[in-house]
Structure 1
Amino acid sequence: MTHIQLLGTGGTIASRGQRGDAAAGAVATDAAADLVCGRYGQMSVSARDILMTNSFRLMLADLRMIAEAVHEALDDPGNDGVVVTHGTDTLEETAFLLNLVHTSTKTAVLTGAQRPADSPVPDGPGNVEQALLAASSVRLRNSGVLIAFDGTVRSARGARKAHTTASSPFQGGVEVAHMEGEQLVVTAAPRRNPPLPVPAVAFDTTRVEIVTAYPGATPDMLGFAVSSGAQAVVLAGTGVGNAGPEFAETVAKVVEGGCAVILSTRAPWGPVVPLYGNGGGADLVKAGAIPSGDLNPFQARILAALLLSHGIPAAEMSSAFQAHLH
């Protein structure tokens, strides 16, 4: 019989309103075993908790803890796959980190909920069922880390939360499967890059900040991030990766001082393409910024932090980064 390990981290799927205080808001309280445990259709499921928190509170140390737990579960010969329940706010970052360090042929699937456990119509149980089907699917072997939500299974890389309240909040990535009635229909296989090592303790305190470009923005925040201890900065530029006056000059100074600058875009979809001069993307890259390809700022930040925590110096960040962009 197929066996799946379910790892809980909290999030809306495990949250309930606080009794007697309607204004207090939902808080993660339900254990992973409350979601599913024991026999489940043609598979058995065991459950344990790694964390019990809402994902907007997660730190890099928590992401490392999750990565270690998933790595251990996948290495266990008694497990045929892993499901991680997680808050949706930062699920895309955790999923991408797990995918970067994924070495197993088995599948790890993240899921969660948009409505709390005590909602009249909770969506968590259905999402867990779909995640279990994906994690146990023989056809999805060698797919790395996936996200299952509201009838769609997509790759972790490139996915992002695109709606605050919709039952299907994630877009992007590659759709690898979807539900047709009770059946999981596999449609694609995501490309896998060579895995990086599981994050070390240094990952916990690696500082990578994000600075956003907008009309009238100055590069002051870029300089402040560096002076306050950032080891790298992701510049979320406009359009295909541009920024306003004086950014290129500041990037040059920052890079010369030993801090990596990753050029991403604040646009929700599409790659960074350094086309423009006059301080635009072409000048930023000439100044030393590293284009992030089609990685959004948040996943670019995770990759930069992981590389830095493994001792990749800023001077070698460009080649190390490029190896994981496609």
Structure 2
Amino acid sequence: MCAADGGEGRRRDPVKGTMAERLTVLLGRRVRRAVRAQRSHDWDISYAEAEDGTRLFVKSLPRNAGPSAVLTSEARGLEWLGHAFGSPVLEPLAWDDRILVLPWVEERDPSPHAAERLGRRLAGLHLTGADHFGAPWPGFVGPLPADNTPSRTWPVFYAEQRLRPCLRRAVDQGGLTPVDGRTVEKVVDRVAQLAGEPEPPARIHGDLWNGNVLWRGKDAVLVDPAAHGGHREADLAMLTLFGLPHLERVRDAYNEMAPLAAGWRSRVALHQLYPLLVHVCLFGAAYRTTALEAARAALRG
């Protein structure tokens, strides 16, 4: 596997052979079967089983796909997040530039106890911190590129490396009109005034919607990150955006370990604007109204 500090992973020819054969080489142990289950964005999802009965979850680029750093970026982000003490992130078992292998998670119903534990572990992850805003690898949110060039200032990073490129794409693709774009541009231009007191870079998941939280009964684990050094309020705002079971329990437990700064509620919409723009880029005008509502709420503070 490739370490988050830039070490090289096991490099094999990833396209030859069946998926089970490719996984056997990558893992260094026999995988007796692998079944392709679905397509998600630009990659395939498969379920596999090792000879000892261990179940695996596999993301892979299609055989005819060109080079992409998307799975490499995810793997490096998972390992980097996993370096935090008590991290709630599911770490990869193996990966190369076309395949990412994760442990299979047997999901259970969410419980208040698991939610409280998740809140504490998420606080610990954030408090581990980062060297800067951004990350030392190419970023992606889903299949979309995200500029991870290191920055010392969060308002500049968020405005110029998250909001503005995503806004440009949303307008170019027709998900937002030019008039809509000018509304969002007002937020981009005022991020420094809307951001609250400066905080050091946190080690954040970066794509923390409900679907990326897997409940296991006693706890929960996080998957599919867009990991980078960012603002910790972003993860909590995204949990709020798409809903999470026992969200108040998560937030209360989080606040016991890492109290949120004064005025955090007034900044929720500011942090939700980026994932909503991402959804406009991916799914079109269906998210236009929600994105514009978030922009206007962010401006009201």
The question of a shared fold, defined as TM-score above 0.5 by the shorter chain, is answered with: no
Task: Pick 1 or 2: higher relative contact order, CA cutoff 8 A, min separation 6.
Answer: 2
Structure with more of its chain in strand, by fraction: 1
Q: Which one has a bigger Cα radius of gyration?
A: 1
Structure 1-normalised TM-score?
A: 0.29
Q: Using structure 2 for the length normalisation, give the TM-score.
A: 0.30
Greater helix fraction, Structure 1 or Structure 2: 2
